[in-house]
Structure formats: C-alpha cells, structure tokens
Structure 1
Amino acid sequence: MAIAHPQTRQFESFVTNLSYARQMVRAGQALEVLSPKGIDTDDFYRAAWVQSIAALEHWVQEEVLRRVAEEAAKDDPDMPRKLRDYPLPLHCLERVQRGETTTAEVVTERVRQDIARQTLQNPDAIAKVMALVTDVKVWREAPKWINRWSQYRTSYDEKRLRGQYILLLRRRNQIAHDADLIDGDLKQRRQIGEADVTDALNWIERIALALAYALEGDASKSSGHPTSTGASEAPVGDQLHID
C-alpha cells in the first residue's frame, strides 16, 4: 500500500536526511563485497542507524515550530491548550507592545529556544513538544494509522509502538555512546548487518509518517492523508510503501 508523504518542507527534509542514511547502507553493502583491509564496513550501517534517528528528531522539532508559528499567527482561542497556556517573559510582551516584533514571532522563538535545550530521545519527549500543536495523544493515534495502512493485518497500540521506537533508540545509544561495544568488552562490538539497519530505517520512516498523520487528528474519521496548512497529497514517488 502506497502512503502519501505530507508535502511540507519539514517532511521533505526528513525524507532527504533518511535517504542519506540509506546511501550509507548501500555504501556498506558495496564495500562488504570488496572486503577492504583496515575498514569495518559495519560502521556504515551503524552510521546509518544514528542518522535515521537524528532525521526523525530534527523533523519533530521543525514540524512543531512550523505549526507553532501558524497557530500563534491565527490568534485563535481554540488553539491547543499547551500553546494557549505557554508562558512568555515580560520583556517579550514588551517588545510586542513596542511594535518591534509580533506575537507569533516571539512565541516561535521562545519555543525554539526551549526545544533546543531538550533532547527528543524518547517517546515522552516527542509527545511533550507535539502537545504544543495538538491536543491529540499522538502515540495513541499513530498506531491506528499503521494498522490501517497494513489493512489491519497488524494490531499495534500505543504501548507496542512506543516499545518499537525505544528499541531503535536503545541501539542508537549503544552505537553513539558506547561505540556499540558488547557490555564488559573493550574491543568486540555487537553484530549489525544490512537487513538489521534497513528494517530500522523502514521503521523510522513508518513512525515519522504515522506521527505526521496523527497530528491531523482521529484516524477513524480522516479521509486518509494529512490536510494541514501547506500540505497536500503527495505525488507518485513521494510515498511510503507498506506490504
């Protein structure tokens, strides 16, 4: 089943960053055949895994900032509760009153500063920042999309999808923080192969896409693709294929 990508600059950037990771996998495969001395070709797979997680985290940050700017510019009382109650320092409000900036610009910049101080390295952190732009529980909604795309051959729920992402994060952390060394060993590293990392990259893309759709609301009521401002159904080619 082909799933349309949201046509926003933020998601296009995610797809581009993920393609870099896929290129690393192909490079690893090519070098594996040559078996060059002094090069651990598995490192290409490890780098791809780390890159894919970074791509998702970057998309979350930029997507939230885009939506914050749009919501703040609307000045709509029905904006998401967390954004409506977002605290602003007095000096920011004074700048708006003096006409030096707009409310939307101030709010967006403050959110950008706050997100920059956070790490989006677990499902709770992602849910927290996305709560600024939606009242939907994104990790509860995202699995519904995955099940729908698989024509209900799967039965993912919030717990299982969070668990899947945590497993991906755990391996990324082992690579990034522990050089992927086996616990208690200073030389031997965990095994990794093309199939492992390709499956991980596919899951990262699937999770990001499900979160993007979840931002739009209830899967059971949606027409099937994101309809947010600036987004439209993707043309053929900009799609995720789920078998």
Structure 2
Amino acid sequence: MAIAHPQTRQFESFVRNLSYARKMVRAGQALEVLSPKGIDTADFYRAAWVQSIAALEHWVQEEVLRRVAEEAAKDDPDMPRKLRDYPLPLHCVEQVQRGDTTTAEVVAERVRQDIARQTLQNPDAIAKVMALVTDVKVWREGAKWVNRWNQYRTSYDEKRLRGQYVLLLRRRNQIAHDADLIDGDLKQRRPIGEPDVTDALNWIERIALALAYALEGDASKPPAHPIPAPALTENSEAQVEINQASTE
C-alpha cells in the first residue's frame, strides 16, 4: 500500500523523476529477455540507480527553496533558527533599503545561490540544508515515520536510516565515478539485477517520504488523515545490505 504523497509541485517532480528510473528498470528487463549482442542490459539498472539518487537530491533542493521563500515572506520571529541567523552580504541589505527588492526575495535568492554550490550527496548535507526550514532533526524524525508506517514492526533510528541511505549512495558512487568496475579490475563490473535496483528505488522513495513527513510534524502525534502502512520489514533492510555486500 502506498503512503500518501505530499501535494506539492516539488514532490510531484520527484515522483515523476523516480518514475523515469522505474521505466529504465522495465526497459532493462525487456532487453534482458532478448539478450541483444553488444548491449549490457545491466547498464539500464545502473542508470536507474543513479537517476533515483539525483531525483531525491533535486527534491531536497527545491523543497528547501520553496520553504525558505515562504518563511522569509512571513517575517515571523519564530522562523527556524538557522534561517533567522542566515548571513546576508551588505550589498543585499542595501538593495532592500533602496527598495529595489524585498528581504524575502533577497534571502530566497541567496539561499538558491548557496545551495547551487553544494552537493547533497550525504545525510549530513541534507540535514544541514533542511535546518534552514525546520528545527527538527529530520533523519531522527524520519526514522520515526518509517516505524510508524510499519506499525512499529521495525525499529529504525536516525543512525540506521542514515546508514541505509549511505549504502544506496555508495553504490551510486561506484556506478557514477568508477564505472561500477570491481576494485582492481579494468573490465569486470559488479553484478546488478532487477531485484537490487527495484529495492533501491523503493528505499529512495521511502526515504524521501520520511524526510517530507519529518518536515511537516511530529511522528508521535496522530496524523490529520490515516496513513496506510507500506510493505517493509527488518528483512528488507537486511536484503539491501546483503545485496550491497555481494557487490563489493
């Protein structure tokens, strides 16, 4: 059963980008049956893995920018601490004083420029940028949501959820930076199959949802609408780890 998705353009874009990755998986499956000469059908699975991570990173960036613009426009003293203390260059302050722009517009643009220079390729980077729009520890709160969706049959905490994402990132980096070649070998690549990448894509979606819900509120409080529990057990994480270990 699917978890209710946030109804924002940013998350809809994430879902659309993730669907591209799923289409790559289906294309790989179709070609695998045909066994065409000269084509490594596993490359479709590798491309899907890379695409899914890119989809999550893009969503994090766009979601933070949306929320920064909203928070800055409110001019609320209760805005998140990191955003309240966000430094602005003097020339930006002068632009506001001259009436050339507004404080909200200047802050949103400065954050956009700063984020564009960053990479969101690890849990710490994601937590840092999300701290601009929430004082909540997003990975810790996200882990609570994962457990809640699974009716507490799982026992994720911040460390385990971060670790799950690191495993996915590690394989993405092997694909993107090392051509997925086995260490010390210039020809042979690490094996990858449809079950591996499908499980990875499901985890990417689950992590994005957990972070999105963490931005919205406390997992210990009843949600406004019932949330159906997705299919996830402790064995699901173990299988990802087994698959990852088998490729290293």
TM-score by length of 1: 0.93
Question: C-alpha offsets along residues 181-208 of structure 1, whole Å, 9 cap, x if unaligned?
Answer: 0000000000000000000000000000
Query: Is the Cα–Cα contact under 8 Å of residues 21 and 48 in structure 2 kept in the other structure?
Result: yes
Cα deviation, 1:85-123, whole Å, max 9, x if unaligned, reads: 000001001111111111111101100110111100000
**Alpha-carbon distance between aligned partners in 1 of 2:146 and 2:230, rounded to the nearest angstrom:** 12
**Deviations 1:128-184, CA, capped at 9 Å, x for gaps:** 000000000001100100000011111111111000000000000000000000000
**Coordinate RMSD, CA, aligned:** 1.5
1:43 aligns to what? 43
Structure 1, 96-105 or 162-171: larger mean CA deviation: 96-105
- Identity of counterpart residues, as a percentage? 90
Gapped regions of structure 2 (runs ≥ 5): 233-248
Q: Gapped runs of 5+ residues in structure 1?
A: 226-232
Shift of 1:242: 3.2
SS in 1 for 2:3: strand
d(CA) in 1 for partners of 2:156, 2:2: 19
Q: Structure 1 residue runs of 4+, over 2 Å off?
A: 239-243
In the TM superposition, 1:81-100 aligns within 5 A as 81-100=81-100
Please give the alpha-carbon distance, in whole angstroms, between the structure 2 residues aligned to 1:139 and 1:223. 19
Number of aligned residue pairs: 232
Give CA-to-partner distance per residue, 1:65-102, whole Å, 9 cap, x none.
00000000000000000000000001001111111111
CA contact (8 A) 2:96 2:103 kept: yes
Task: Kindly report which structure 2 residues correspond to 1:1-243, keeping only aligned pairs within 5 A, or say none.
Answer: 1-223=1-223, 241-242=230-231
**8 A contact 1:140–1:158 mirrored in 2:** yes
| TM-score (normalised: structure 2) | 0.91
